[in-house]
Structure 1
Amino acid sequence: MSVTTGVLTADAAPRRVAGPAPRVERVAALAADATEAERAVILEEFWADAARRGTPLIEALDGDPDHRAVTFLWRGHRATRQVLLLAEGIADRTDLAASRLSPLPGTDIWHLTYRLRADHRGSYRMAADISPGEPPVSAELLQRRLLSLSAHAAPDPLNGRRMPGRWPDRDTSVLELPQAPALPRAERRAGVPRGSVERHRLPAGVLGAERDVWVYLPPGGGRAAELPVLVLNDGDMWLGRLAFQDTLDALVADGAVPPLAVLAPDAVDRDTRGRELGAHDSHVRFLADELLPWAAGRWRLTADPARTLVAGQGLGGLASLYAGFLRPERFGKVLAQSAPLSRLGVGTSRPVTVRLDVGLCEEEILDHHRDLYEVLRSHGCPVTLNEYNGGHDWACWRACLTEGLVGLLGH
């Protein structure tokens, strides 16, 4: 039983920095004394350098080695009224005005700098408002306009590190500071034997509708022995868009986990996901009494709960905890990431092994995870709490899921 946090102990709360960061400030000083032609050259050189280095700009802070100044940039033009940053774990969706970039007078530079701890990881999108007329003065009207604008947010054009998005189907940009946990198995590796991913349709059952399930089988299909099982919520994201099978292949090839089968139900759409995932008996019955028996009839899978892990994120994390607590004879291990634990109304003295992951920037649920950790620990439940420096974010969950699989299923 243990609790783990980031390697740094300094304050992890994102803080907006007043005024431009050093590199932007230097450009401002050069442009202030330049002719129009000279200013155009200065700005072209600035943007060319930003494209070479990639954005956001990351700069050291004097006397503060545990943090960095992180500057988000946008190249505006005459029609640009405002620029909005939507960054998981940083921006506050209830006060979007606080996440707007500032124009640098006399230039086409829009900028916004945050002080972030050096192990921060997260995803973000940006949106420029080019609608006619100035932004509303009223805070309420401005918030409405920015909410409308947020629907058009897109990846940062100067950041080549991207991750597939979901609902809407647009990529997001990824920010990783120098001390963020490494992702050594995130990409497909040449020469690594590849498992297979199949998509199957289960007949209608307790959920009242047919359900697609993504199935990962290890290289060779694992025919020699009964495979341990990972039941992973949100299969359309993990095996459909994020290609997590590449990570699974690498974990198996490295011997970090044994060959395993992954059963990953499709979340269908936002409404269906919100209705079905969470602490619902019907979803647990679907996983335990329909999905597992269906899969066991097709492949050689273990029936040992100690080798059966259920995992998920957000509502999927809550659903995983509920499945472990309600049916420990089927699910002996649980990996729950960023779960809305205030909705968990179930006893906790259950013989399951639990790993909880939560972001330090998830203020609404962070203390709930710490409380549940203590409750489970007091009941003698093998439990680990991992607190990462980030938000409610697929970019963070991927790293933690990989680490969690090794810890819970590894040799």
Structure 2
Amino acid sequence: MAAQWLREEAAGQPAWWQKVASHGTPIVEPHDDRHVKMTWLWRDPAGDERHSPIRRVYADINGITDHHSTSPSSLTRLPGTDVWYGAAVIDRRWRGSYSLIPITDRDLPPVFSDDETLRDRQQRAWWVSLFPLAIADPLNRLSLGPSHRPRPVSLAQGPDADDQSAWQAADRPWDEARLQLFQWRSERLDNQRRVWLYASGDAAVEANRPLVLLLDGQNWIERHALLPVIEHETARGHLPPACWLLIDAIDGEHRENELPCNAAFWQAIIEELLPQAQKREAFSEEGARTVVAGQSYGGLAALYAGVHWPERFGHVLSQSGSFWWPTVQFVTQFEKRHELEEGWLIRQVRQRDAAAPTLTVIQQAGDREADIEFVNRQMHQALTAAGHRAEYRVFSGGHDALCWRGGLVDGVRQLLSAMK
């Protein structure tokens, strides 16, 4: 269909663009049993090549675009028109975020050094310099839900991508009176941050309600509207009533210090934050009725909490957990992965005390994040060997919140449903 449209004489005319807008982009068409062809189209606001300063339009597709290339592929202009187009063959199960990056002469790739180290540094600096130019796809019809922060991203997905229909509720009104926002001033950590406490549904015994502790809470409040989804899923009986405690990361520096296996951070949560939260809403103090969840460094931190305080955090959802930490060479020199020492927490899991409580763990990682998928397989093997109840699922996608959001709801649902 897309190829046929591009061959039409009317390509680039207003009626043609209206047809594209009505259909939405990317255009997804069958390719073979396992793949689809996705075609992206962008309308140059300045017109054709005689009138427009746009020289290239990069499609930055999560898990697909090579961010290390000195000459990333660009969409192609259809000569004599305002049409830019490009296509990729992608797994039918894939889901991911993407941005379009139109650039002028000034932002074209520089002349790169022959020295490999310097060239890599130059390439990274050039690619990062393009980030402010990224835009969402104006022809994409898939809603990301409300956001307090503008996001220059859009969503693309294959016909067999995991079901995320629960997230259609992100746009719906919800009972905001159930949400409490407060400041947690930590003496142990000598800092303060926002914390969101949300009580979903109506529990018969409030003190027995499960607790779901979610790291990087700001992302799930400000960027991805999780709470209306939780309210809707609870009302439909797909989630049991629970207390959701979402913890702000403060900023990137605090996140990098507190989330990678930091005992003081978790001791502060246990000794300071949880008692404060419990004064506001009753919930269970049992690890058997507590889920801790996070993504990336948060996925590492969630499992760290379970391994070291299993009596308080008995259920763990780790999404794209950074189990390479602190051996960054898994990321920077992935080709040497079989020569590297396993991540610190993996080694801790292998040394488990046989008398320690057994954890219930769900791990998720994407097939488009090779380094993360590799270390998650290592961790899954370690958890299983140590006697924990561990499930590992690989989804088709990358290091991407638009993949994590579905896995978060599904994973928490599975963990809560298994509680006695």
The TM tier, using the shorter chain, reads: 0.7 to 0.9
Given the alignment, which residue of 145, 163, 172 partners 2:144? 163
- Alignment partners' CA distance in 2, 1:332 and 1:258: 17
Given the alignment, which residue of 14, 18, 40 partners 1:72? 40
- Alignment partners' CA distance in 1, 2:28 and 2:107: 33
Contact 2:203 2:209 in 1 (8 A): no
1:60 Cα offset (Å) = 1.4
Are residues 213 and 159 of structure 1, via their aligned partners in 2, closer, same or farther at CA, if it must alter by over 3 Å? same
- Alignment partners' CA distance in 1, 2:395 and 2:243: 27
| Partner in structure 2 of residue 345 of structure 1 | 344
Contact 2:193 2:248 in 1 (8 A): yes
1:105 Cα offset (Å) = 2.8
1:376 Cα offset (Å) = 1.0
- Alignment partners' CA distance in 2, 1:99 and 1:271: 33
Which residue identity does 1:253 align to in structure 2?
Answer: A
What per-residue deviation string (whole Å, max 9, x for no partner) do you get for residues 189-221 of structure 1? Answer: 879877722211112322211121011112458
1:243 Cα offset (Å) = 1.7
- Alignment partners' CA distance in 1, 2:368 and 2:251: 26
Q: SS at 1:116's partner residue?
A: strand
**1:399 and 2:381 aligned:** no
**1:259 and 2:266 aligned:** no
Identity, in percent, stands at: 31
Contact 2:147 2:225 in 1 (8 A): no
How do 1:238-249 residues align onto structure 2 when only pairs under 5 Å count? 238-249=220-231
Contact 1:122 1:396 in 2 (8 A): yes
Instruction: Let me know the Cα RMSD of the aligned residues.
Output: 2.7
What per-residue deviation string (whole Å, max 9, x for no partner) do you get for residues 200-251 of structure 1? Answer: 1112322211121011112458764421100100111113331211221123
The answer for unaligned runs of 5 or more in structure 2 is: 114-118, 326-342
Q: SS at 1:303's partner residue?
A: coil
1:363 Cα offset (Å) = 0.8
**1:84 and 2:91 aligned:** no
The answer for unaligned runs of 5 or more in structure 1 is: 1-21, 32-38
Q: SS at 2:271's partner residue?
A: helix
1:167 Cα offset (Å) = 11
| Partner in structure 2 of residue 173 of structure 1 | 154
Q: SS at 1:97's partner residue?
A: coil
Contact 1:97 1:146 in 2 (8 A): no
Given the alignment, which residue of 168, 185, 199 partners 1:187? 168
1:315 Cα offset (Å) = 0.7
- Alignment partners' CA distance in 1, 2:298 and 2:377: 19
What per-residue deviation string (whole Å, max 9, x for no partner) do you get for residues 230-282 of structure 1? Answer: 01001111133312112211232232332100111112222322222221112
| Partner in structure 1 of residue 2 of structure 2 | 23
Given the alignment, which residue of 84, 90, 98 partners 1:110? 84
| Partner in structure 2 of residue 46 of structure 1 | 16
- Alignment partners' CA distance in 2, 1:136 and 1:191: 48
Contact 1:194 1:218 in 2 (8 A): no
